[in-house]
Chain A
Amino acid sequence: MDNPFSLIWYVLFLPLAGSLIQALFGGAVVRRLGPAQGKRLMGTIAVLPVAASFLIGVVLVQQLTTMPVQTRHEVVTLFDWIQLQSISIPFEALVDPLSMTMVLIITGVGALIHLYATGYMGDDRDYTRFFTYLNLFIAFMLILVLGNNLPLLFIGWEGVGLCSYLLIGFWYKDLNNARAANKAFIVNRIGDWGLMLGMFLLMVVLAGSKVSLQSNHYLSYEVIFANAVNALRAHPELATAIALLLFVGACGKSAQFPLYFWLPDAMAGPTPVSALIHAATMVTAGVYLLNRMHVLFELSPVASAVVAMVGAFTAVFAALIAFGQTDIKKVLAYSTVSQLGFMFIACGSGAYWAGMFHVTTHAFFKALLFLGSGAVIYAMAHEQDMRRYGNLIKYLPITAGTMIAGYLAIAGVPGLAGFYSKEAILGGALGNEHAIAGGVNLGAVAGWVGLFAAMLTAWYMTRLTMLTFFGKQERWRELPAEEHHEEAHAHDAHEAHEEHAHEDPHGFFFTDEEMAARHEEHEHHHALTGDHQPKEVPPSMWIPLVVLAVLSIGGGYVLHQHELLQKWLYPSGLAVLDPALVPGHPHALPLMALSIFAAGLGLAAGLFFYWKGLPAKETYDESKWSPFRKAARDQFGYDGALMDAGVNGGRDIGLAMWKGVDVAVIDGAVNGLAWTVGRIGDLVRRVQTGFVRSYALMMLLGGVGLLLFLLMELRKLGGAQ
């Protein structure tokens, strides 16, 4: 291993080792050193491997930039994983611009969120369990992006799904959290099924094609890229089938329209989880997959058109739902779904790099917004209803400042991160002629829809910001003031809440403040009182906020300069990219003006409606809401209908199978057979009289019968002679 790129294994295994350390020694360390010291130590141990991975990633990226453009892909083999006669799948990592971009996002944003979590989870009983899962998640995510073949990607894919499940259901004693975790896992299963089928179909096609392959690594990327075009050119319908199956997988992980509905429920998990997994990294796995397998999508304009249209629909649909949400984390969740739709518009219309650009900027500002919302929730005694906020900028200056930076970035204000990546997406969508189905350039259609969604984005994010930080109303003051508000519903997860009131000399960790676990929207479930005074969060939480705010403000500009990211990602040495597809901006359209106009319109509308604080039409009495807002609150009935059809339908099918098929037919047959045998036995047992002499008589008769038979046979023989 004299290759400098063998460092990549440290990137992979450091988080894994961190997870193991947390799992094996975490509990013991915290018990030995006491909660304060032990948690500080374990928190540090949790952050370090991720930060170290990030630094190694930076070193490797430096290494890559020194190489000539065409050779910027390095495969580092660890061992042969599966060796069969017909196919071999090595365990190897691929270091190239695309995977390293993802690695930097995962480990960079991941390290910041780990740091934040050391504060946020400060007095959770299961502190080390949380970091076990979080480190494990980082490890699986790195396998997903670094694996050099589809099975490795699939391992990472399943692994992050597992960690997502564990973390959503982290406070598993609350049934709602367990349900949300199950929902996320089961819905993702549908996507995984598509991904698997696509993978197998691709393997069958490559193995059965007339193209002579150099090796039997059918599922390694370099083999796919080198041969897929030749193998599939004659069968465009096969390319479409494979691409669409992979897209089903991407839809599940990246929460696109038919399968999006697990993500809003996933907000049941702790806020750092929402930021890391359900905003910045895991949900972008689908976009990564589309980027990685872009060859197949280039072969199939139809599949690309489907991707673009699904993305466009999701972008608008989720943005509309966000207007009906009052829970601050739910708004951000739908915003994530909507932004993922933007990325899919980009990938579908062939502007893959723009999709990755938006993945990057979105990781910055959405992680920031989620962490900020976590800080707000923490400061407001775990109240998540925006209708109880207002004028918080007075109490939480740092949180408010950083969150406003993130809000402006996502709204598309010129100069900030979101503006550049959205403009790249819209430019690619309107300028490319790739996603064509039925003679219509659906990519361009998706682009226009995306423009509308961008306007909506600015609008609902303004709503969130205004309701939370501005206005003169401090709406939680309307609540009854109670000196000692004892929560009637004890937090099950925290009934054994640690009684340690330690003063941390550095002020880095919380003291014995109640960190309630319930993330529920129910009005009567909060401990917020009328005389509550919000306090700014400690440094371990606001330092990540500030770093992410800086990235959200400047990241887009830096990556946009001289088309830095575009040139970095393309031409990737592996790609067999059609040069015509490297997107240029359409010059016929005043794109910049369009983007600014859309963002400005959204901002203006938001300010107009929410300048004064909470409008009368959006109060606590939800029966007074407008029909549109009620529908949006209920996801336009989609989730409910689907859950009804899925859960109840599944139960009915199960009941029918049980009562109709299992009990009636299968058990009937088995029991009927047993009954018949029993009846026959009843008849025959009368032969066993118990009298020895009757047995002897039977033997005699049998013997005589046998003799007679033999005599008959002998006579026959005699006759024959």
Chain B
Amino acid sequence: MSGVPLMAYLALGLFMFTTGVVGVIIRRNPIVIFMCIELMLNAVNLTLLAFARYQPSAGSDPVGSAMAGQMMVIFVMAVAAAEVAVGLGIIMAIFRLRHDIDIDEMNLLRG
């Protein structure tokens, strides 16, 4: 057991998540936005792992319940990878069409 308290992990996670959210909102380059989304996802992964490690009350099955958090992280990674693949594909297609991937120019759906 290291001496790092749970709160440190959570604080780091919060910082990373906030950075990701702000990045998604203010940046105009979709590649960067994707990076920010990854940042948010990994922040959540970090908190999940931290909670899995520092269980407040290990129940009847401490190992099993620790596994649950880690399993969740694996899932999130897989989904994130798939999502990035699809997203990058879309970005490639748009780039071929318009030679430009500034998302503020993509406003065909404006009401």
Contacts and interface: CB of A to CB of B under 8 A. Distances in A.
A693 B21 contact: no
A665 interface: no
Contacts of B63: none
A693 B110 contact: no
A587 B107 CA distance: 107
A135 B83 CA distance: 80
Contacts of B104: 691-693
B24 to A, nearest CB: 5
Contact of A697 (B25, B106, B110): B25
Contact of A685 (B26, B28, B111): B111
Interface string B25-36: 111100001000
B103 interface: yes
B78 interface: no
Contact of A690 (B26, B27, B33, B109): B109
A690 B110 contact: yes
A696 interface: yes
A688 interface: yes
A700 B110 contact: no
Contacts of B21: 700
Given A691-B104, A693-B103, A693-B104, A700 B25 contact: yes
Interface string B1-30: 000000000000000000001001111100
B25 A693 contact: yes
B111 A686 contact: yes
A97 B107 CA distance: 90
B108 interface: yes
B42 to A, nearest CB: 18
A696 B21 CA distance: 9
Contacts of A688: 109-111
B25 A696 contact: yes
A689 interface: yes
B32 to A, nearest CB: 11
A687 interface: yes
Interface string A657-701: 000000000000000000000000000111111111100110010
A201 B107 CA distance: 70
A38 B39 CA distance: 96
B33 to A, nearest CB: 8
Contacts of A684: 111
Contacts of A697: 25
B24 A690 contact: no
A690 B25 contact: no
A573 to B, nearest CB: 84
A689 B26 contact: no
Contacts of B109: 688, 690
Contacts of A691: 103-104, 107
Interface in B54-111: 103-104, 106-111
Nearest to B106: A692
B103 A687 contact: no
B23 to A, nearest CB: 10
Nearest to A687: B111
A693 B26 contact: yes
A689 B107 CA distance: 7
Contacts of A687: 111
A690 B28 contact: no
A697 B28 CA distance: 13
Contacts of B108: 690
A691 B24 CA distance: 12
Contacts of B106: 690, 692
Contacts of A693: 24-28, 103-104
A693 B28 CA distance: 8
A708 to B, nearest CB: 16
Contacts of A692: 33, 103-104, 106
A692 to B, nearest CB: 5
A696 B28 CA distance: 12
A692 B107 CA distance: 8
A489 B111 CA distance: 66
Contacts of B24: 693, 696
Nearest to A700: B21
A687 B106 CA distance: 16
Nearest to B110: A690
Report which residue of B24, B25, B33 has the largest number of chain A beta carbons within 10 angstroms of its beta carbon: B25
Contacts of A689: 107, 110-111
A691 to B, nearest CB: 6
26 contacts: A684-B111, A685-B111, A686-B111, A687-B111, A688-B109, A688-B110, A689-B107, A689-B110, A689-B111, A690-B107, A690-B108, A690-B109, A690-B111, A691-B104, A691-B107, A692-B33, A692-B103, A692-B104, A693-B25, A693-B26, A693-B27, A693-B28, A693-B104, A696-B24, A696-B25, A700-B25
Interface of B: 21, 24-28, 33, 103-104, 106-111
Given A687-B111, A689-B111, A692-B104, 20 more contacts: A684-B111, A688-B109, A688-B111, A689-B107, A689-B110, A690-B106, A690-B108, A690-B110, A690-B111, A691-B103, A691-B104, A691-B107, A692-B33, A692-B103, A692-B106, A693-B25, A693-B27, A693-B103, A696-B25, A700-B25
Q: Give the top 4 A-B pairs by smallest Cβ distance, nearest first.
A: A690-B107, A688-B111, A690-B110, A685-B111
